[in-house]
Amino acid sequence: MQESANSILIVEDDRDLVKLIKINLQDAGYNVHTAGDGLEALKLYEELDPSLLILDIMLPKLDGFEVCRRIRQENRRVPILMLTAKAEEVDKILGLELGADDYMTKPFSIRELTARVKAIFRRIKVDQENEGNLPRELVFNDLKIYPKKRKVTLSDSTVELTSKEYDLLLLFSSNPGKAYSREQLLNQVWGYSYEGYSHTVNSHINRLRSKIEDDPSNPQFIKTVWGVGYRFADLEEAENHA
């Protein structure tokens, strides 16, 4: 069965929390389905093809990390918002490395979760509208970006990027030399900006650098603008670095 647009699959074993999230998201106009364990989540994902996953980390039968990893093997674009009761940064980073787009730490505000979901769907709509205006390719020395294929190569080898790593790279490379604050990046790539979430941007930038830079501590492409944020090297800088 193919689910309609703006459908959400919530994967969470806390029944009271699931009920609360489901009621609020349904009130906001979304089609909501739920799964209580990791194996059920994978089964429903295949059946429903949801537009968004809200995925808890601590799950029976199969944890959220493994669910995320398996889904990302076949689909790099479906947004995944992970929920965690753990405060340790390592859990958040692992989730992002496996391909989660973002995370929220319990306890969280239902209003914020709903706002985050709305932002994700706004971002999806903007991306769909902009796809027809994308160039065929962007070339910076041995780094090549193919926007219509969502493909990136470095020295002719494919670079495996998560959805948000790719979105960041496309934004930067489409505007070489332009500096972005972390708040601007949150707004333009994630579709929201909340105080205290700039570390989400930093984590993605660090992992993106590790995948495309020869020396991440002395980046060729993604430059730090002290006191501001980040920018992509302009064409002259990239040529001089070659």
**pTM beyond 0.85, yes or no:** no
| Residue range(s) defining the domain that contains residue 178 | 134-241
Residues 144 and 233 placed together within one structural domain of the fold: yes
DSSP E strands, the chain: 7-11, 31-35, 52-56, 80-84, 102-105, 138-140, 143-146, 151-154, 157-158, 179-181, 222-225, 229-232
Q: Are residues 144 and 82 in the same domain?
A: no
44: domain CATH number is 3.40.50.2300
Tell me: do 30 and 111 sit in the same domain.
yes
Same-domain check for residues 186 and 214: yes
Q: What is the CA radius of gyration of the chain?
A: 18
Nearest 10 degrees: Cα torsion 230, 120, 135, 232: 0
State how many domains the chain has. 2
Among 130, 153, 186, residue at a domain's last position:
130
Say if 40 falls within a structural domain: yes
Locate 146 and state its tokens: 């193919």
pLDDT at res. 36: 95
Is residue 97 located within the same domain as residue 143? no
Of 130, 165, 190, the residue that ends a domain is 130
Residue 1 lies in a domain: no
Q: Does 57 reside within a domain? A: yes
Which of 130, 161, 188 is a domain's end point?
130
Query: How much is the pLDDT for 2?
Result: 46
**120 and 33 both lie in a single domain:** yes
pLDDT tens by residue, the chain, 242 residues = 444 468 999 999 999 999 999 999 999 999 999 999 999 999 999 999 999 999 999 999 999 999 998 998 887 778 899 888 766 666 666 777 777 888 888 888 999 899 889 988 887 787 776 666 777 888 888 999 998 788 899 999 999 888 888 889 999 998 999 999 988 998 888 876 655 567 778 888 998 999 999 999 999 999 999 989 999 998 666 555 54
CB 28 within 8 A of CB 114: yes
**Does residue 120 contact residue 191 with C-beta atoms inside 8 Å?**
yes
Predicted pLDDT at 201 = 85
Same-domain check for residues 120 and 152: no
Is 139 in the same domain as 234? Answer: yes
Residues 112, 188 within the same domain: no
CB 11 within 8 A of CB 53: yes
Report d(CA 220, CA 200) in Å as an integer.
22
Q: Which residue from 174, 36, 54, 34 is spatially nearest to 117, judged by alpha carbons? A: 54
